[in-house]
Amino acid sequence: MLPEASARKPEDSPPFSLPSNLAIQSTSRTKSPHLALIMDGNGRWAARRGLPRSEGHRQGAKAVRRVVEGAARLGVGTLTLYAFSSDNWRRPQAEVEALMALFRRFLIQEIPICLRHGVQVRVIGHRHRLREDVSDAIERCEAATAGGQRMTLRLAVDYSSRAQLAKAARLVVDGCPEEMERALGRVNHPLECASPVDLLVRTSGEKRLSDFLLWECAYAELHFVDTLWPDFGAADVEEALLELSRRQRRFGGLGEQPAGTPADSRDPIRTGVR
């Protein structure tokens, strides 16, 4: 969720690039990693500065832009951001309304930036419970950015992984992992399958998944940082990806497979390997 679009051009941005010989074991068929982020700490960031929570959310929105632009430059294939959980409806109504207004503004104002960076936007979650103007903005943004091929940005809004899993399970007939994956993809978004996450990052020092992408994170590497979300940026994404590259992912095996092994043979969700 972002504020007004920046006039800064991509070439004016500080360069972020991983070493050319860096090997990341990705479960994606394209070998571009799927990075998932739990954006946590906006309220604490504001409280430590004696500011209202709304200012924390506004500064957190600026962090989203930095992260999206940085992830695209770093070669991330899919970036999934936990923007608003189904449990967040329990927050004060004024805060919820402010978050929805911020989200709607992002969807409209960030279209030119997403087009410039080749970013395709998709929204997963319970759309039917969102305000009509927010739903309209989602449809407009998804349609406008549908041709983006550099990176897919998925925004989880009114999202509950347990609810999505329960809904997908009702669509499954024989219970095989592949069918479950397709069913979960259909309830998340009509154009995709459930994509396994390679790296899950959570900011603010908390160490829990909070009902986020539970199926997709079955074999994800977990990376927890103390940085509050408004202070998170492209350099932190780079460090997280470097950390991922240092880990040996065995996927239930002995770890002998090289990084170039076809994704399908190393994907435990598709192969059923445990």
Active site residues: 40, 88
What CA–CA distance (Å, rounded) separates 142 from 80?
Answer: 15
Three-class secondary structure assignment of the chain: CCCCCCCCCHHHCCCCCCCCCCCCCCCCCCCCCEEEEECCCHHHHHHHCCCCHHHHHHHHHHHHHHHHHHHHHHCCCEEEEEEEEHHHHHCCHHHHHHHHHHHHHHHHHCHHHHHHHCEEEEEECCHHHCCHHHHHHHHHHHHHCCCCCCEEEEEEEEECHHHHHHHHHCCCCCCCHHHHHHHHHHHHCCCCCCCCCCEEEECCCCCCCCCCCCCCCCCCEEEECCCCHHHCCHHHHHHHHHHHHHCCCCCCCCCCCCCCCCHHHHCHHHHCCC
Within a 10 A sphere around the Cβ of 272, how many other Cβ atoms? 11
Instruction: Specify the amino acid at residue 237.
Output: V
In whole angstroms, give the CA distance from residue 38 to residue 51.
Answer: 22
Distance CA 201, CA 70 (A): 15
